[in-house]
A and B are shown apart, each in its own frame.
Chain A
Amino acid sequence: MSALMAVAIGILFAASLYMMLRRSIVKLVMGLILLSNAANLVIFTSAGLTSGAPPLLDKVTKEAPVGVADPLAQALILTAIVIAFGVLAFSVVLIHRAHEVVQTDDLDQMKDTDQ
């Protein structure tokens, strides 16, 4: 599965960068969303894919299940997901405002600071 995952991550990255290279600002933001998903999956896969052993301690023994998944990588990704959402919310509003001011959604038309 992890080898296949590596391929899937590669495709996600390729798709996200292709979207970010488009001139439409809407596509740029879509690429950004794909990019954060891809990046999270890289961290997740690198820590090792374990099914059926979440890092939750037993109620009674306070022991972790055998072969438990890496909690540190998960904590890292949790933070990343939330931050990525913050960035996304900001950029979505930013491009909306930019479109209002510049009256175009073409990035190549936004190359000067002068209006």
Chain B
Amino acid sequence: MMLTSIALPFIAAAIAPVWLRRGLPGSWLALFPLAVFVLNAGLYSQAVSGMEVSAHYPWVPSIGLNFTLYVDGLRWLMLTLISGIGTAVVLYASSYLAGHKDLHRFFLWLFVFMGAMVGLVLADNLLLLFVFWELTSIASYMLIGFTHESEKSRASALQGLLVTVGGGLALLAGMIMLGQQQQTWLISEMSLITEHSSWINAAIVLILIGTFTKSAQFPFQFWLPNAMAAPTPVSAYLHSATMVKAGVFLMAQLAPVFAQQSLWLTLVTGAGAITMLLGAWLAYLAVDLKKILAYTTVTALGILTMLVGLNSDYAFFAFVTFLVAHALYKASLFMLAGIIEHQAHTRNLRHIRPLPKFTLAVTAVAAWSLAGIAPALGFIAKELLLKASATSGWLTAMVFATAALTIAVAVSLVWQPWRSRRQVKEQHAEPWQQWFGPVLFSSLALLLGLGAPLVQPLANTIAEQMGANNVIELSLWYGLSPALALSFASIVVGIGLAALWRKNRVLAAKLRLISRYTGTERLYELLLAGNLSFADWQTRVLQNGYLGRYLVLIIAITTLAVTSTLLSQYGLPSFQFDALEPYEVGMLFVMLASTLYAIASRQRFAAIIALGAVGFVVALIFIHFSAPDLGITQVLVETLTVLLLVLVLLKLPGFKNYSSRGQRLLDAVVACAFGLMMTLLVLATQENHWADSIAHYFIEHSYSLGFGRNVVNVILVDFRALDTLGEIFVLALAAMGVYSMIRLRRSRL
């Protein structure tokens, strides 16, 4: 069943392009996520009662990578949001992007993303989870860069990819460290870590880099607002309800494991709190509708992260409530942003035109939830959040400021179009597919506050999994308390800020510019630019096109590496003189003298003859040391070589001294060092007998199996006949090359 849930979106991804190319309506594709939703709904009772549903399919058992799937409360909730919101988003996109030339590509990646996300929240195996984690990053890259004709869109897509995949790399390392410590890859089998060690700390930091980048936590928050280059349905789905929640989801899953690690608690709470306030502040400064929503998403992710780190009963219940509330109102707000953009012909809240009453009403309902005012579910979440943060005065102040700023943004979202005096352009009605999601989700977000008991069982299960000890009743009325007073005060301050919204836009634009050039995004840009210029410099230095410099570098590095290894592992080989025949010394003397002459000679012809002499001495050496076949071959080849060189090279210009004296000296030193290394190596091989030769097999069987008395020949044409065939093939290839170079001329082509 769980496997079906993962497979369905991928099947949809395969079908969608064909389906759309045939011109069939895209709305029908919403049946796929709907089927996942229905399948998942069937698991509700098991998920809530804490009965674990799991499935296991071996994939690569040798490294512990298996398709181990698992459903608990949080996973069930995530899956419900992914499939439920997914259904609405597919419906919305089928109408919103209808007629787009690349619609099939859009749906392909949307469904790949959906499948990856379903897999991510179902995966119990950390490694499997990582596979899906990276797949969501890739799908997100394709979706952010959907309008790839725009440079901004491509840059945003790349930024999202680099940040999330870079974090993913850290995450993988952290996961492996965690898996080693826990002796299991299964999240469901992991237990509380009580020890404190640098190993655990390193794992925590690495995992958090992964989750912080994915969930856009400070200092990685900057990629999310830029991801708004994606088409609106993508923003509604990936960048509000699902993908960005992956990091939060993983942190929530691992919260019980790290509950006693102060590093984890401090980092998670700290980053969450900073992200929360930063997001709210930037949302208040922004004027672009989608940017505003993106920053409030950053705020929401900060709140969720902070709640994981606060690690208390109130925090866990606030986490569940806020997770549901945010997914609902944010998805509907984003879809509304698309509708508003069509109707008002702008996304700039300053220049927005009056909206139709229905649009304004639905927006108001969604904004009401965003503001977190009773009876919305967000109100309960905010009250619990204030209670959870009451442990520290600083946190309370930050939450209060965030709440006030968010309310100011929510009020502005409705107030600005309401009071707009601009000319109304002709407006077109949006089809039901576009209204389905916003209307359903915004009313759900509002009404679930009243229907909080419906969420209660699920909240209990999830909070308990995360480590809550007591059940907290979800209710709109907890009695008079400091939290309620703060909640009320934040509304007053928020409305006050909203009233100033239009007046302080000039200041806001300046502040936006300042934060643009002092924020962490600037750091990202500098890093990226630095990386590029380093690559540029390195290419210019290493890949300079001068063959000689490549060779010198390669030879020098090889010499250093081999010599140092030889001397450190083995020591200096000894040099032993044994008996020498005069003619042996004579042969070597002739060979070396000819070699030196070939180098030094300024005449090509003399050099070629000297080279030939070297080759013939080598032939003599072969013959003298019991290798007649080699001797014969060498003589033949050497003769041909000399002929060839004389025929061809004499057509080329004579020797000239191209290099400077210093260059020649350097080359000589490098070449001599390599020669010395080879001498040492040969001496070392002579001193030692590392392995027995397998030659005796060939000698013994040469006649009995190969029916030949010349063992070398038998090896070549019988035992290793395939090698010889390969050799013939190489020669044929060389011959073809030679022929084509001589015969084929550009003028004849």
Contact = CB atoms under 8 A, between A and B. Distances in A.
Contacts of B699: 55, 57, 64, 68, 71
Interface string B653-684: 10110110000000110111011111101110
B674 A57 contact: no
B525 to A, nearest CB: 32
**Majority DSSP secondary structure for residues of A touching B:** helix
A75 B712 contact: yes
Contacts of B730: 83, 86
Contacts of A62: 703, 709
A56 B670 CA distance: 42
Nearest to A72: B695
A75 B107 CA distance: 61
A27 B628 CA distance: 30
Contacts of A99: 652-653
B637 interface: yes
B527 interface: no
Interface string B588-614: 100110011011000010011001001
Contact of A50 (B598, B625, B681): B625
A53 to B, nearest CB: 5
Nearest to B697: A72
Contacts of B685: 45-46
B621 A41 contact: yes
B502 interface: no
Interface string A66-102: 0011111111011101111111111011111101000
B741 interface: yes
Given A27-B655, A82-B637, A90-B737, A10 B679 contact: yes
Contact of A79 (B544, B604, B693, B727): B727
A105 B551 contact: no
Contacts of A3: 575-578, 683, 686
A56 B678 CA distance: 31
B652 A26 contact: yes
Contacts of B618: 37, 40-41
B703 A57 contact: yes
B626 A54 contact: yes
B630 interface: yes
| Interface size bracket, B side | 35 or more
Contacts of A19: 598-599
B577 A34 contact: no
Contacts of B695: 55, 70-73
A6 B679 contact: yes
B398 interface: no
B693 A47 contact: yes
A6 B682 contact: yes
A6 B686 contact: yes
Nearest to A95: B652
Interface string A12-38: 111111111111111111100110011
Given A21-B552, A40-B618, A62-B709, A69 B626 contact: yes
B649 interface: yes
Interface stretch (B20-28, B367-375, B485-493, B716-724): B716-724
A86 B668 contact: no
A18 B672 CA distance: 8
B651 interface: yes
B61 interface: no
A110 B658 CA distance: 14
Contact of A9 (B608, B653, B682): B682
Q: Which of B548, B625, B633, B720 has the most CB of A within 10 A?
A: B625
Nearest to A94: B741
Contacts of A79: 716, 723-724, 727
Contact of B658 (A37, A82, A106): A106
B633 A78 contact: yes
Given A4-B585, A21-B667, A55 B741 contact: no
B430 interface: no
B531 interface: no
B626 A96 contact: no
22 contacts: A1-B578, A5-B588, A6-B678, A6-B686, A12-B591, A15-B671, A16-B671, A22-B659, A26-B604, A30-B611, A33-B611, A44-B621, A44-B627, A46-B682, A57-B709, A69-B626, A70-B695, A77-B630, A79-B723, A84-B637, A95-B652, A111-B547
Given A3-B576, A93-B737, 13 more contacts: A9-B679, A9-B682, A14-B674, A14-B675, A22-B658, A22-B659, A26-B604, A37-B614, A54-B627, A85-B637, A89-B738, A90-B737, A96-B741
Interface of A: 1-30, 33-34, 37-38, 40-42, 44-47, 49-59, 62, 64, 68-75, 77-79, 81-90, 92-97, 99, 105-108, 110-112
Closest 7 CB pairs of A and B: A14-B675, A111-B545, A10-B679, A69-B626, A86-B734, A23-B658, A17-B671
